């Protein structure tokens, strides 16, 4: 079963890329972030025509997440822990795997959090605390699950071409890195790193200053696996070439295969 995650930076601007990627990578499940539209504006028909069920948790202008799946889904919207949080950053599906089992998959768009020292950074840390608490709840079920998405965290210096440039940034603050490590310490497995320890694996390149041309990238999109899912991990990869397409998102897809 192939699961991928991709921050598309507006699904309406990226529809051609999205359909191309579905054909090319043929994921069973694709988690999307930053769809940047309301549910009713999502290009549902085109994606259903490509053979996918569509579930969205949209918002006007900003944020918004979705899950596309070949198989039907049972859906929950919103990250538990704060009834007043109105930002559309979390959607979770339980998907029948067709072999008598089920896989839970979440599409997550964690806050950026810049600038550090503001309410935005406090919101980022609070969101990550809620994510950790939710992960703890899910782990108690002892089931297969994947928490996939744009975490807006650079986990280690190996995950940036120029880590020294990010020391003052919310993506690489000690508190942000500690939150990622806390998820790891709960027993969640960073799927890409589990199979690919090498340097130079990035998922985001800024549009500015020729970051892509200089390969000045960072790795901030992650698939975190429960132990039961990690036991079945057979492949993991970044689809780097997608950043070279015409009018690309600033993020690329990351995908895994579970046996």
Q: Does 20 bind DNA (CB under 7 A)?
A: no
Residue 216: left (phi > 0), alpha (psi -120 to 50), or beta?
A: beta
Q: Does 184 bind DNA (CB under 7 A)?
A: no
Per-residue x/- track, 122-151, DNA (CB under 7 A): ----------------------------x-
Q: How far is the CB of 232 from DNA (least distance, A)?
A: 29
The Cα 178–Cα 184 span in angstroms is 10
Q: Does 7 bind DNA (CB under 7 A)?
A: yes
Maximum CA extent, the chain: 50
Q: Which class for 87: exposed (0-12), middle (13-18), buried (19 or more C-beta within 10 A)?
A: middle
CB-nearer residue toward DNA: 193 or 243: 243
Q: How far is the CB of 160 from DNA (least distance, A)?
A: 9
**From 67-75, 112-120, 133-141, 230-238, span contacting DNA (CB under 7 A):** 112-120
First CA to last CA distance, the chain: 6
CB-nearer residue toward DNA: 66 or 233: 66
Question: In 3D, which of 49, 42, 140, 125 has the Cα closest to residue 91?
Answer: 42
Q: Which of 109, 169, 221, 257 is catalytic?
A: 109
The Cα 120–Cα 131 span in angstroms is 16
Q: Could you confirm whether 109 is annotated as catalytic?
A: yes
Q: Please enumerate in sequence order all residues whose Cβ is within 8 A of that of 10, keeping only pairs 6 or more positions apart, or say none.
A: 34, 35, 36, 37
Q: Decide if 3 contacts 225 (C-beta within 8 A).
A: no
Q: How far is the CB of 218 from DNA (least distance, A)?
A: 5
Q: Does 84 bind DNA (CB under 7 A)?
A: no
Give the pair of three-digit tokens for residue 75: 């859906």
Q: Could you confirm whether 96 is annotated as catalytic?
A: no
Q: How far is the CB of 257 from DNA (least distance, A)?
A: 25
Residues lying near DNA in the complex (CB under 7 A): 7, 9-10, 12-13, 34, 36-37, 60-62, 111-112, 114, 120, 150, 152, 169, 171, 204, 206-210, 218, 220, 247, 250-251
Give me the active site residues, please. 109, 150
């Amino acid at each position: 079963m192939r699961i991928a995650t991709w921050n598309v930076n507006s699904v309406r601007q990226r529809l051609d890329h999205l359909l191309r990627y579905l054909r090319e990578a043929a994921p069973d499940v694709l988690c999307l972030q930053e769809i940047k539209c309301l549910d009713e504006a999502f290009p549902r028909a085109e994606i259903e025509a490509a053979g996918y069920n569509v579930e969205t948790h949209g918002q006007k202008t900003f944020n918004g997440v979705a899950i596309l799946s070949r198989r039907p889904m049972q859906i929950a919207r919103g990250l538990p822990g704060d009834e007043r949080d109105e930002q559309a950053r979390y959607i979770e599906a339980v998907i029948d795997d067709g072999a008598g089992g089920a896989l839970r998959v979440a599409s997550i768009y964690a806050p950026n959090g810049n600038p550090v020292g503001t309410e935005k950074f406090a919101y980022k840390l609070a969101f990550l605390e809620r994510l950790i608490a939710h992960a703890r709840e899910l782990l108690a079920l002892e089931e297969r699950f994947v928490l996939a998405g744009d975490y807006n965290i650079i986990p280690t210096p190996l995950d940036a071409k120029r880590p020294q440039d990010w020391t003052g940034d919310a993506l690489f603050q000690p508190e942000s890195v500690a939150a990622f490590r806390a998820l790891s310490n709960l027993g969640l497995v960073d799927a890409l790193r589990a199979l690919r320890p090498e340097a130079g694996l990035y998922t985001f390149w800024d549009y500015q200053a020729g970051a892509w041309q200089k390969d000045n990238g960072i790795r901030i999109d992650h698939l975190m696996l429960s132990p039961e899912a990690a036991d079945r991990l057979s492949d993991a990869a970044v689809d780097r070439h997608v950043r070279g397409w015409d009018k690309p998102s600033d993020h690329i897809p990351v995908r895994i295969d579970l046996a």
